[in-house]
Structure 1
Amino acid sequence: MTDHPHPRAPRPQDDLAPLQRLGRGARLAGGLAFAAALSLGGAGMAAADPGDDLGTTTFSQSDQEGATEYWTAERMESAIPADTLIEGEQAPDGQVESSETVQVPRVDPLAATQTQSGEADWSFEADPSAAASGTDHIGKVFFTVGGNDYVCSGNAVASQNGSTVSTAGHCTSESGQWASNWVFAPAYDQGETPYGLWSATELYAPEQWVGQEDMNYDIAFAVVAPESGSTSLTDAVGGSGIEFNTERGALYTSFGYPAAAPFDGETLEQCQDYGSDDTLGGTDDQAIDCDMTGGSSGGPWFVGDGADGMQISVNSFGYTAQPNVMYGPYLGDVAQDVYAEAAAA
């Protein structure tokens, strides 16, 4: 294992501090039940070859069509921030393998022309008016697990296939089982989905998450397809640049759709702070001051002020003993490998 270039503070000698759900004054960024055995319809057991860093699952065309049909406005509105199901879990200490910094540059959206019928013709031309600092690439993630409907957040990232979404690992799989009805709603606002719903064709997460639920690896990527047409996600909304093995302790801006009180999940919210190490539980995650609640899980962290910097993490968890503090996983070599598989799918 390569030593991390920035040492962490010593881990306290007492027991690991328990994670907690995101709530006013005590927050966890949405999660899945860690205990129950699940039956997930079209989604199967997490699959990974021995020694591989990742687990992955594929959804059939009928699964994808069923997912977009499933998420009516009423179901989206009533989806539960899944944070309550992780309450009391513990975050294992650990150091993420890290080597050289790798950056994937952002991509800007393209402009669709309008047909006589009023439908979008996804034959794109470069749109110089596309705002590089816009947030249309950030959206809500909806999924079903254990017979319940849940909500997280996600972000479109630059990729070879043009249709890759980042989110938290716990927004994709639980106890070796994958979620079903997984869709991404970019630019969600007040119940409106201006770019429609994008259903997952594949889900990817580190085997350290899928097999062990290690909070150091609470990151996942989805490859998605539009509910109609053949455009790519980043052509429609753009895609953030993403960075692995990044310098620690910079100024970060975090985005998400917190749905637990005092928020309602209907609008995009943000936090900003300088990253600091986990001195409570000993994970390799970074922490920022942030009051976002359940539903914000999987929302992106960007370097700098705003949404146009490199993405370097996602909203993941918090500790009961640290109110209003959000942790995000350090994206090291394993996360880079998982991203590379998803981006090329």
Structure 2
Amino acid sequence: MAPRPVPRARTARVTALAALLLAAGTACGGSDAPPNAEVAQPSPVRDRIGTLSIHSAQGPRACTASVVHSPRRNLLVTAAHCVQNRRIGLLDGLVFTPGYRNGYTPYGTWPVQSITVDPRWAQDDDPDYDVAFITVRPVDGREIEDAVGGNPIGTDQGVGLTVSVTGYPNESDEPITCSVRTRSQGSTQERFDCGGYTDGTSGSPWVTASGTVIGVIGGYQEGGESPGTSYSVAFDQRVADLYRRATT
């Protein structure tokens, strides 16, 4: 579906939306004692990852998102359940804060302008389409990609790849990261095993050594039911088509 403008936040909905954020998280546990994520140290690539929150960087947290390369240089990727579901509709008043740490916002806060999800997510919350692309408004005359750069989206990359996954647990003011190998979770889903990916880390990008995003935490069980195993929609033609809709 075409990008849709995000309606202005309505005060009466903020409390309900904040409650919904508590359910927007990720991850699930494995029986083979997966490694645990560590605090992510700042770097130019990690600074492309940030928090999605309501109204301000200190507002209620939704999820994690990251900047991806696009023709207009204003695009993020996250999980669809972070920004919309059938009960609430689109979340109002979202802002993106790249590189957020301990209250510090080195690149400012960027208001969300529009959200693109697949019609099958919008209609049925279908976990095989739990991906969203978000445009953000310019700040001080600059687009977000001009401020922090952007990673390319990669599709049809297969499984068994080593990725770095960085995201923001709601209970922490610092991001966590883990280097892991992807595994298949059926024909339309992938997974990785690493502990620590709790509520708030949905939408965290799966970044290869070349800097390509090949997944985001989401999909099956909206990313997972416990912190040791996380899921993503397989980035294939479905995601390539959605990216095309978001950028045209």
1:274 equivalent to 2:181? Answer: yes
Cα–Cα, structure 1 residues 256 and 338, in superposed 2: closer, same or farther, change >3 Å? same
CA change 1:319–1:163 in 2 (3 A) is closer
- The runs of 5 or more residues in structure 1 that have no matched partner are 1-53, 88-130
Matches within 5 A, 1:11-90: 54=1, 56-59=3-6, 63=8, 82-84=21-23
User: Letter of the aligned partner of 1:192 in structure 2?
Assistant: Y
Aligned to 2:62: 151
Shift in Å, 1:343: 2.5
Alignment of 1:83-98 (within 5 A): 83-84=22-23
- Cα deviation per residue 1:291-313 (whole Å; 9 max; x = unaligned)? 21110111100123xxx521001
Give the CA deviation at 1:196: 1.4
Say which SS state the counterpart of residue 23 (structure 2) adopts.
helix
Q: Which structure has the bigger radius of gyration?
A: 1
Which among 185, 189, 193 is matched to residue 289 of structure 1? Answer: 193
User: Aligned with 1:258: secondary structure?
Assistant: coil
* Structure having the larger proportion of residues in helix: 2
TM-fit CA distance, 1:56:
3.6
Task: State the SS of the aligned residue for 1:334.
Answer: helix
Pairwise CA distance, 1:84: 3.2
CA contact (8 A) 2:24 2:200 kept: no
> Are the structure 2 counterparts of residues 162 and 152 from structure 1 closer, same or farther at C-alpha, using a change threshold of 3 Å?
same
Question: How far apart, in 2, do the equivalents of 1:246 and 1:184 lie?
Answer: 28
Partner of 2:233: 329
- Report whether the alignment pairs 1:310 with 2:212: yes
1:252–1:303 contact (8 Å) kept in structure 2: yes
- Letter matched to residue 82 of structure 1: L
Superposed displacement of residue 170, structure 1: 0.5
5+ long unaligned stretches in structure 2: 27-41
User: Hey, what's the Cα distance between the residues in 1 that align with 2:102 and 2:25?
Assistant: 27
Number of equivalenced pairs: 220
Q: Matched residues, percent identical? A: 26
Q: Deviations over 1:132-179 (max 9, x none)?
A: 8531111001148xxx94420000000000000101100111107111
RMSD: 2.9
> One-letter code of the match for 2:112?
A
Cα 1:267–1:162 shift into 2, 3 Å = same
Partner of 2:81: 170
The correspondence of residues 176-195 of structure 1 with structure 2, limited to 5 A, is: 177-195=89-107
- SS of 2:107's equivalent? coil
1:56-106 CA distance string (max 9 Å, x none): 42136xx3xx69xx9xxxx9xxx678353789xxxxxxxxxxxxxxxxxxx
CA distance in 2, matches of 1:138, 1:319: 20
TM superposition shift of 1:246: 1.7
Q: Is the 8 A contact 1:265 1:295 kept in 2?
A: no
